[in-house]
Amino acid sequence: MKNREFWIQIIAFVISLLAILFTREFISYQLIQNGIESYRIHISISIGANLVLILVSYFFIKKNGLFQIAGIKSTRLQKWYLLIFPLVYLVLLNALFLDDLNTDLLFPNIGFLFIYALSIGISEELSIRGFLQSHLINRFGNTKKNIVLSVIATSFFFGILHLINFNKGLYGELSQVCFATFIGVMFGALLIITKRIYPLIIIHSIIDFVAKLDSTGLPIKQKISEPTSIENAALSMLLVLPCLIYGLFLMKRYKLIDQTTV
């Protein structure tokens, strides 16, 4: 019965997650088809979808008693200095690849960008690390190997989710999957070791805020990227590889069993 309930929760959560994401994409597509390309309208829809995902994720976390493993409460921040690398490296990496900023569009929309980035940080961390990873660890993580596998499996799922947009061409999408997976491994390890999800939410939000600066205010059609070349895709994966290495190093270096409640 316990095993059955575990899989029911996983399936219900994944269905809910996919329903939210596909509904967001459907609405956005319908707006574009009707000539509605306003940045603020499309970002508002994404923010709304993220808010729904936050509520759904919190519901599943509460229902399954994962507050402590998810780093939401009853824990203290541990080894805060391990958070310095992802913050500095990923912010600099995203800043390096920014296109020229259109200040005429950026500053009037900076508030929308801030709220949007924050909603991404909260929704993705609560859903992927807060519930999904914590749920797997709570069920299988009685050994260090199982905890590592839970982190990797969750991170790969996080990477696969980035295929929903599919607007960067084949090589671009593959690089996005790797990009998200590698970062997911690092963030997953950091949640287990630091015991707090809030710093990850803040870092995640800052990273997205910087990454989306150059597209702020642009009509939605202009945000759709041209297909990524195989060279640029390979470069992207190479540049984010240190995140995967860092995450694996952390899980090898620290005692994960002592960091979780299983």
Please tell me the least confidently modeled range out of 104-118, 155-169, 242-256.
155-169
CA 255-257-262 angle, to 5 degrees, is 165
Residue among 116, 127, 145, 242 nearest 191 (CA): 127
**114-151 tens-digit pLDDT:** 999 999 999 999 999 999 999 999 999 889 999 999 99
**Count of positions (residues) in the chain:** 262
Please say whether the beta carbons of 77 and 191 come within 8 A: no
Q: pLDDT-derived band of residue 262, with 50, 70 and 90 as boundaries?
A: very low
Q: Is the pLDDT of residue 234 over 60?
A: yes
Phi/psi at 208 (5° precision): -65, -35
The model's pTM: 0.93
Please say whether the beta carbons of 184 and 154 come within 8 A: yes
Label residues 25-40 b or e (16+ Cβ within 10 Å = b). bebbeebeeeeeeebe
For the chain, the average pLDDT equals: 91
